[in-house]
């Protein structure tokens, strides 16, 4: 009964952990064997009998009966006199099985045993959690905001597992309060010491891909394939889709009537602008679609260097580049080509880099960030527009405009 009472007291750990009773008993046996090794030097001659249903455990020590005064290995051998105290009819050479009570291990050993058990259960628990979330990498997961820190949000799931949503893996417009439910993908899981570190992300392209799977039945069923996703989180995304069934319009199915199907995804991502385009192996057509809504006049490809020279009418250039250069940047990510935008009749245009003797290089780079890399492309925008689109002071931009104007007046 002493053993049973102690086992029942150990079972309290099971109730709060992801561990079944059978596994608990297996851990118990391992812990008890370690305790026996410490006390007796060896555990090979001990039988540990566990009854998972009752939670009972018995420890039996097996020794061989030898003549009085000939005991050389006390853990393996027992004298005839001591054996006959257990059963009066034992004879030399027979095996004696004697039950070991936990109290025989000593109070200190029992306390150490308990600590060892706690450690083993936590280790088992952490290993299970690590394996569980490792299998969920790249999948959508929901957890509740538990604590908000400066550089991360700490989340707890229904099982009390802790997840981390770092600031850089949030969408810039994300704003959460304690108790809010948050969706993201499990981006990475690693063991730090013995504790699993689970990182969630809402900024990863995979999150958008998985939202398509959840929200669009044809994607979930495999009728539509999401070929590639590129994002500037919270700003803009491009998703290339394809279908093996010619009867399905993949773009129409993903967007839905008046955007009904994609609306929920856009809202989840903080009103991120999502372009859905038809994938194709025709590189020129793919680049043309990727630069939508701009209309392309012609494209010249350099396939060896993965560069594309795109000719557009002047009024289409700003559409191709997009606000903050997002459209052209994402088109490049999506197609794998570095895209250079040229205007029709731009033969007389001059690259901004040609003015580096008069204009500081960092200023030229600020214009290039928004897709303005030639003199005419800058001059086509008025001063107020350039102030809005760049991080440059009005006086600096005016000075640049004056320099460029002089070039063409000359």
Domains of the chain: 2-123 (3.30.1480), 136-203 (2.40.50.140), 208-343 (3.30.300.20), 346-409 (1.10.150)
Please give the pLDDT value at position 204: 96
Indicate the pairing of strand 95-99 with strand 152-156: unpaired
Predicted confidence at residue 2, as pLDDT, reads 46
Average pLDDT of the chain, as a whole number: 85
Instruction: Compute the distance between CA of residue 18 and CA of residue 12 in angstroms, rounded to an integer.
Output: 12
Mean pLDDT confidence for 352-380: 85
pLDDT digits (tens, 9 = 90+) for 29-49: 777 888 788 778 888 888 887
Task: Compare 211 and 366 and report the one with higher pLDDT.
Answer: 211
Whether pLDDT at 70 is above 60 = yes
What integer pLDDT is reported at residue 6 of this predicted model?
Answer: 52
> Torsion angle of alpha carbons 67, 71, 72, 75, nearest 10°?
130
Distance CA 213, CA 234 (A): 20
Q: What is the mean pLDDT of the segment spanning 50-75?
A: 79
Q: Is 246 left (phi over 0), alpha (psi -120 to 50) or beta?
A: alpha
Who's near 374: CB < 8 A, 6+ residues apart?
346, 349, 350, 351, 352
The whole-number pLDDT of residue 54 equals 60
Band of pLDDT at residue 357, cut at 50, 70 and 90: confident
Residue in the structure block whose two tokens are 């009103």: 271
Q: pLDDT band for 201, please (50, 70, 90 cuts).
A: very high
Does 112 have pLDDT greater than 70? no
Omega before 293 cis (within 30°)?
yes
Higher pLDDT, 284 or 126: 284
Residues 6+ apart with CB under 8 A from 311: 296, 297, 298, 299, 300, 342, 343, 344
pLDDT at 345: 63
Q: How far apart are CA 96 and CA 93, in angstroms?
A: 9
Report residue 346's pLDDT band, with 50, 70 and 90 as the boundaries: low
Checking if the pLDDT of 337 tops 80, the result is yes
* 362-372 confidence digits (pLDDT tens): 998 888 888 88
């Amino acid at each position: 009964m002493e053993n049973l009472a102690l086992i029942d007291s150990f079972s309290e750990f099971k109730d709060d952990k992801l561990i079944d009773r059978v596994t608990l008993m297996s851990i118990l046996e391992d812990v008890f064997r370690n305790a026996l090794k410490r006390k007796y030097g060896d555990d090979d001659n001990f039988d540990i009998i566990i009854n998972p249903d009752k939670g009972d455990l018995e420890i039996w020590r097996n020794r061989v009966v030898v003549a009085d005064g000939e005991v050389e290995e006390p853990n393996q051998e027992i004298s005839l006199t001591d054996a006959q105290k257990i059963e009066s009819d034992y004879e030399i050479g027979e095996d004696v099985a004697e039950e070991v009570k936990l109290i025989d291990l000593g109070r200190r050993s029992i306390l150490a045993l308990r600590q060892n058990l706690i450690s083993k259960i936590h280790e088992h628990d952490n290993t299970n959690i690590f394996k569980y979330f490792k299998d969920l990498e790249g999948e959508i997961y929901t957890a509740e905001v538990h604590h908000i820190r400066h550089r991360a949000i700490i989340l707890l799931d229904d099982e009390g597992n802790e997840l981390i949503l770092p600031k850089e893996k949030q969408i810039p417009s994300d704003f959460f309060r304690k108790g809010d439910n948050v969706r993201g993908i499990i981006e990475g899981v690693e063991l730090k010491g013995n504790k699993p570190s689970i990182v969630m992300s809402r900024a990863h392209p995979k999150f958008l891909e998985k939202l398509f799977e959840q929200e669009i039945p044809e994607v979930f069923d495999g009728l539509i394939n999401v070929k590639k996703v590129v994002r500037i989180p919270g700003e803009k995304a491009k998703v290339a889709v394809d279908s093996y069934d010619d009867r399905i319009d993949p773009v129409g199915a993903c967007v839905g009537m008046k955007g009904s199907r994609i609306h929920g995804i856009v809202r989840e991502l903080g009103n991120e602008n999502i372009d859905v385009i038809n994938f194709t192996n025709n590189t020129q057509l793919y680049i043309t679609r990727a630069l939508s809504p701009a209309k392309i006049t012609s494209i010249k490809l350099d396939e060896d260097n993965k560069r594309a020279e795109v000719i557009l009418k002047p009024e289409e250039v700003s559409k191709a580049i997009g606000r903050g250069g997002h459209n052209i940047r994402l088109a490049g990510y999506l197609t794998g080509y570095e895209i250079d935008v040229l205007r029709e009749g731009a033969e007389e245009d001059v690259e901004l880099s040609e003015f580096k003797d008069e204009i500081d290089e960092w200023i030229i780079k600020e214009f290039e960030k928004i897709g303005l890399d030639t003199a005419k492309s800058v001059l086509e925008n008025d001063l107020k527009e350039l102030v809005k689109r760049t991080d440059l002071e009005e006086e600096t931009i005016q000075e640049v405009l004056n320099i460029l104007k002089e070039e063409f007046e000359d």
